[in-house]
Structure formats: structure tokens, C-alpha cells
Amino acid sequence: LTATADPTTRADICHHLKLMDPYTHLGSFDRPNIRYTIQEKFKPTEQLLKFIRSQNGKSGIVYCGSRKKVEDLTETLANKGFSVKGYHAGMSIEQRELVQNAFQRDNIQIVVATVAFGMGINKSNVRFVVHFDLPRSIEAYYQETGRAGRDDLPAEAVLFYDPADYAWLHKILLEKPESEQRQVEQHKLQAIGAFAESLTCRRLVLLNYFAESRQTACGNC
């Protein structure tokens, strides 16, 4: 079972598990209640504060690209009076469990986290997911935004995009040894870059990436 596998990944799963003509059930990738928004990233901390204030105490997740940024943003938000905790892989298992449980029980409003946060999170009333930094792939982005609005009520997915973030991720990728895996990662990074810079309906870009063909703009992005 997987929620966010593109055609290449689906073929890869069958290949590595040596599945011979398996039965496959493929549902829709569309989450019509989530509104996808891309904002030009110029003063991201101020942009984040403004957005969170507009949410009026609703529950949300802010994803960051590094542990240091998680810690800095958590401190900034706490100093502004928000109910917030950080979460990353450098914390102890006990610390992470405390944060996860507090979030599940609505004892805190916001979790600022790296990609380490989210596995097993089944919280239905997450109203927003903000990507403070560019994710490395559309799968990662889609999986993380998919933690919002599981109760089918309106939810927000906001991505702050700066082309410099893309250039930095690309530079790191090129420092890896040349391999088939690097080529796959480059393709995935190019796809999320194209999504961020797209001038068409964001939902159409996402759905077509997962080979779910749509032509009509969604009106909710």
C-alpha cells in the first residue's frame, strides 16, 4: 500500500519484489478539499507569521529542510505567542513521542518539522501544511501536503518557493557520484521545480505527474 507512487516507482516496486503480473488497485490521487498555493519566498519568516495568524489557531504543520531551521523557526513562533513544538530526527525517541502525542491531542497548535515527522500521523483536523523550503520531489510534497484535511473539510497547502533553494538542492545532488539513482533523483527534483514555476493549474500538474490525466483547471489552487 502506498499513497504517492508515480508510474516509475510503481514499476520499481514490482521489479524489486519480483511480482509477476500482480493485481493492482489504483485509486484517485485527487484531494479536492486541499487548496495548493505557491508564494514567492522573499521574507519567509514574515510570510509564515502572517499566514499562521490568518489561520486563527487552527492545527498545522510547517516543514523545513534542516534541523537548524526547525529549531530557529520553533523558537521564533514560540516567542510570538504561538503554541508550537519542533520535531526532527536529532531528538530522542521520547521527545519525539511527546511532541507527536501533544499534537494528536490538540495540546499544541503547530509542529515545525523535518521530513522525519509524519509517518503514522492520522490526525483528521490538520488545516494547513506549509513548506518553508522546497521538497526534493513531488512525491514528498504530495505525501506531506496529504496530512492536511483528512476530514474532507477545506485545508491549505502553501509552498514558499525561491529558485535559489532549487539551485542549492541541485548542487548537492551533483556532488553525489554519477549513478542511476542520481539520475532518478535529478528527474524528481526537476519535476518539483517545474511544479513550483508552473503557470497552469497546480492540481493538474500534480495529477498528471501521477499519470491521472485531467484537462480542466480545478479552481482551488
Q: What pLDDT, on the 0 to 100 scale, is given for residue 165?
A: 92
Q: What pLDDT, on the 0 to 100 scale, is given for residue 112?
A: 96
Among 23-32, 114-123, 156-165, whose mean pLDDT is lowest?
Answer: 114-123
Dump pLDDT digits (tens) for 23-44. Answer: 988 888 899 999 999 999 999 9
- What confidence tier does 116 reach under pLDDT thresholds 50, 70, 90? confident
- Any idea which residue has 525517541 for its cell? 93
pLDDT score of 175 more than 80: yes
Query: Parallel, antiparallel, or unpaired for β 155-161 and 34-40?
Result: parallel
Q: What pLDDT, on the 0 to 100 scale, is given for residue 28?
A: 87
- Greatest Cα pair distance, the chain, in angstroms, is 56
- The cell for 8 is 516509475
Q: What pLDDT, on the 0 to 100 scale, is given for residue 78?
A: 96
Dump pLDDT digits (tens) for 50-90. Answer: 999 999 999 999 999 999 999 999 999 999 999 999 999 99
Angle at 6 between CA 175 and CA 216, to 5 degrees: 120
Q: What pLDDT, on the 0 to 100 scale, is given for residue 119?
A: 65
**pLDDT cut 90: percent of the chain above it:** 75
- The pTM of this model reads 0.91
User: Which string of b and e fits 41-75 if b means at least 16 CB within 10 Å?
Assistant: beebeebbeebbeeeeeebbbbbbbebebbbebbe
Question: Which segments of 80-201 does DSSP mark as H helices, in order?
Answer: 93-104, 138-145, 163-174, 180-197
DSSP letter, residue 112: E
CB 84 within 8 A of CB 108: yes
Who has greater pLDDT, 121 or 78? 78
- The cell for 146 is 496529504
Q: What pLDDT, on the 0 to 100 scale, is given for residue 51?
A: 97
